[in-house]
Amino acid sequence: VADVAPPLESGPLAATGPVASPALVTQLKDELRDAHAMQIVDRALAEFGEDVAISFSGAEDVLLVEYAKESGRPFRVFSLDTGRLHPETYRFFAEVEKHYGIHIEYLFPDAPAVEALVRTKGMFSFYEDGHGECCSIRKVAPLRRRLSDLRAWITGQRRDQSPGTRSTLSHVELDAAFEGTNGALVKFNPLATTSSDDVWAAIRAFDVPYNALHDRGFVSIGCEPCTRQNRPGEHERAARWWWEEATKKECGLHVADDG
Ligand code: SF4
């Protein structure tokens, strides 16, 4: 793609811009209250430069990558490779890299921690005692490591994904779960108020590549053992950790900011 700015190199970063303070979050919240998702991505990249990165799960949040490309600004993208993703998701990662001319910054879990878990509890312990421990090792710890080098991140969270846990989600918030380079971390959720239908309309309009699993009945896509196809009329998060209560269907990556 000719007009895509080159990706920034990964590595330890020196924070040079404004501090990710509560005051800055309030200012950005007011400014972006009615903004389009594309404007929010552009504003995040303009404000934080190489100190902000897009969190890409391998699902329809690929639209964020498209919007970053449309901004014409350099941007960086990271993904959590838990080691338990669908083959289709790995192929999709490669397709996205090729399509946008980017290198995704893959994050891997700590090998000794994974070894200790599966040697003591087996490969599918989450079906017995919940997904918390496995997600903590394979997702949360690598994410914490990544975010500690940033001052802001961009996620594909939407209110309509989970009426139970995401219904009050803001476009901009102070991250309540993780810290960035200087402590405070700004979290942009450009798609917070965008509906699933509108996301898919945009994916088609921009001719954005998407995960082949979506054509096979998968709506929300996560790790292979913890994601199933959605049944007719079922809410999308119902197909994640389906053996657990609806109120526990977060993997520790997202904690609501009440502000
Ligand atoms: S979603 Fe499932 S396999 Fe993936 S990290 Fe969480 S518990 Fe483990």
Instruction: Tell me the residue length of the chain.
Output: 259
- What mean pLDDT comes out for the span 34-53? 97
Pocket test for ligand 1, best of 79, 85, 138 (most atoms within 8 A of CB): 138
* Res. 15 pLDDT band, cuts 50 70 90: very low
State the average pLDDT for the chain: 88
- What mean pLDDT comes out for the span 83-98? 98
What's residue 17's pLDDT?
62
User: 102 is written with which tokens?
Assistant: 């980017």
Q: Is the CB of 126 under 6 A from ligand 1?
A: yes
Pocket test for ligand 1, best of 85, 117, 127, 226 (most atoms within 8 A of CB): 226
Residue located nearest, by CA, to atom 7 of ligand 1: 131
Q: Is 135 a known active-site residue?
A: no
Residue located nearest, by CA, to atom 5 of ligand 1: 135
* Res. 231 pLDDT band, cuts 50 70 90: confident
CA distance 44 to 101: 21
* Residue 42, pLDDT above cutoff 70: yes
Q: Among residues 50, 43, 44, 67, which one has the least CA distance to residue 9?
A: 50
C-alpha 180 to ligand 1 mean position (Å):
24
Q: Among residues 201, 204, 198, 196, which one has the least CA distance to residue 230?
A: 196
* Residue 1, pLDDT above cutoff 50: no
Residue located nearest, by CA, to atom 1 of ligand 1: 223
C-alpha 78 to ligand 1 mean position (Å):
18
Closest ligand 1 atom number to CA of residue 132: 7
What's residue 70's pLDDT?
97
Q: Is the CB of 225 under 6 A from ligand 1?
A: yes
Strands in 103-208 per DSSP E: 105-107, 152-154, 172-174, 186-188
Residue located nearest, by CA, to atom 2 of ligand 1: 226
Q: Which residues contact 247 (CB under 8 A, 6 or more apart)?
A: 164, 165
* Residue 236, pLDDT above cutoff 80: no
What's residue 4's pLDDT?
41
For residue 8, give the 3-state DSSP assignment: coil
* Residue 102, pLDDT above cutoff 50: yes
What's residue 258's pLDDT?
42
What's residue 220's pLDDT?
86
Closest ligand 1 atom number to CA of residue 222: 1
CA distance 246 to 240: 9
* Res. 199 pLDDT band, cuts 50 70 90: very high
What's residue 103's pLDDT?
98
What's residue 173's pLDDT?
95
